[in-house]
Amino acid sequence: MDLRRTIAIALAALGWAAAASASDLTGRIQLDGPRPEPTEIPVRAKSSTYSVQGCGTSKRSPRLLVSEEGGVANAVVWLESAAVVPAAPVTATMDQQACEFVPHVLLVPRGSTVTIGNSDGILHNVRMFRETQMLMHEWQPPAPQPNAIAWRGDEPGRYLVRCGVHAWMSAWIIVADHPYYALSDAEGTFTIRHAPPGASTLRVWHEALGEQERSVVVSQDRAPITIRFAEQRRMAWESR
Amino acid sequence: MESMWQHHGRRWPRMGAIILLGVGVIGAGRAPSEQPDLSKAPQRLPVTVRVDFGPAGKPAREERVMVDKGSTPKDVVSLLFPIQSGATCCNTRELAAIDGVRADPATNRWWTCRLNGKGDFSPFLKELSAGDRVEWIYVEQLQ
Distance from CA of A36 to the nearest CA of B (A): 15
pLDDT digits (tens, 9 = 90+) for A9-24: 454 444 444 444 578 9
pLDDT digits (tens, 9 = 90+) for A165-205: 999 999 999 999 999 999 999 999 999 999 999 999 999 99
Task: Please state, in angstroms and as integers, the Cα–Cα distance from residue A36 to each residue in A210, B76, B140, following that order.
Answer: 16, 43, 20
Determine if the peptide bond prior to A103 is cis (ω within 30°).
yes
Instruction: Flag whether residue A158 sits within 8 Å of chain B, measured between CB atoms.
Output: no
Report which of residues B38 and A129 the model is more confident about: A129
How would residue A163 be classed by pLDDT, with cut points 50, 70 and 90?
very high
Complex ipTM > 0.90: no
Nearest to B143 among A47, A127, A168 (CB): A168
CATH code, residues B44-140: 2.170.130.30
Give the number of C-alpha atoms closer than 13 A to the C-alpha of residue B114, restricted to the C-beta side. Answer: 10
Closest of A74, A78, A89, A47 to residue A195, by C-alpha:
A78
pTM score over 0.80 = no
* Domain boundaries of chain B, sorted by first residue: 1-41, 44-140
**Set of chain B residues whose Cβ sits within 8 Å of the Cβ of A61:** 142-143
Looking at A54-123, which runs of residues are DSSP E strands?
58-60, 76-80, 91-97, 100-102, 105-109, 112-116
CA distance A138 to B74: 25
**Set of chain A residues whose Cβ sits within 8 Å of the Cβ of B105:** 127, 129, 132, 134, 160, 162
Q: Please say if the pLDDT value at position A80 is more than 70.
A: yes
Task: Please state, in angstroms and as integers, the Cα–Cα distance from residue A218 to each residue in A177, A199, A221, B115, B142, following that order.
Answer: 19, 6, 8, 60, 40
- Asked if A132 and B120 come within 8 Å (Cβ–Cβ), the reply is no
> Per-residue pLDDT averaged across A44-61, rounded?
88
Task: Please state, in angstroms and as integers, the Cα–Cα distance from residue B106 to each residue in A79, A98, A114, A207, following that order.
Answer: 24, 22, 20, 8
* Domain boundaries of chain A, sorted by first residue: 23-238
Distance from CA of A132 to the nearest CA of B (A): 6
CA distance A52 to B24: 73
**Set of chain B residues whose Cβ sits within 8 Å of the Cβ of A127:** 89-90, 105
* pLDDT, position A7: 52
pLDDT digits (tens, 9 = 90+) for B86-137: 766 655 456 889 999 999 999 999 999 999 999 888 888 899 999 999 999 9
Q: Please say if the pLDDT value at position A140 is more than 80.
A: yes
Give me the residues paired with residue B112 across strands: B137
> Per-residue pLDDT averaged across A82-93, rounded?
87
Q: DSSP letters of chain B?
A: ---HHHHHHHHHHHHHHHHHHHHHHHHHHHHHHHS--TTTSPPEEEEEEEEE-GGG-PPPEEEEEEEETT--HHHHHTTTS-EEE-TTBSBTTSEEEETTEE-BTTTTEEEEEEETTB--S-TTTPPP-TT-EEEEEEEE---
* pLDDT, position B38: 58
Q: What angle do CA A233, A236, A237 make, to 5 degrees?
A: 85
* pLDDT, position B11: 53
- Asked if A170 and B88 come within 8 Å (Cβ–Cβ), the reply is no
Cβ-Cβ pairs closer than 8 A, A with B, add up to 45
- Asked if B86 and A133 come within 8 Å (Cβ–Cβ), the reply is yes
> Per-residue pLDDT averaged across B48-63, rounded?
96
Nearest to B106 among A160, A164, A167 (CB): A160
Distance from CA of A122 to the nearest CA of B (A): 19
- Asked if A167 and B108 come within 8 Å (Cβ–Cβ), the reply is yes
Q: Please say if the pLDDT value at position A105 is more than 80.
A: yes
Give the number of C-alpha atoms closer than 13 A to the C-alpha of residue A4, restricted to the C-beta side. Answer: 0
What class does CATH assign to A23-238?
A: mainly beta
Give me the residues paired with residue A101 across strands: A96
**Set of chain B residues whose Cβ sits within 8 Å of the Cβ of A161:** none
- Asked if B103 and A132 come within 8 Å (Cβ–Cβ), the reply is yes
* pLDDT, position B23: 47
pLDDT digits (tens, 9 = 90+) for A145-157: 999 999 999 999 9
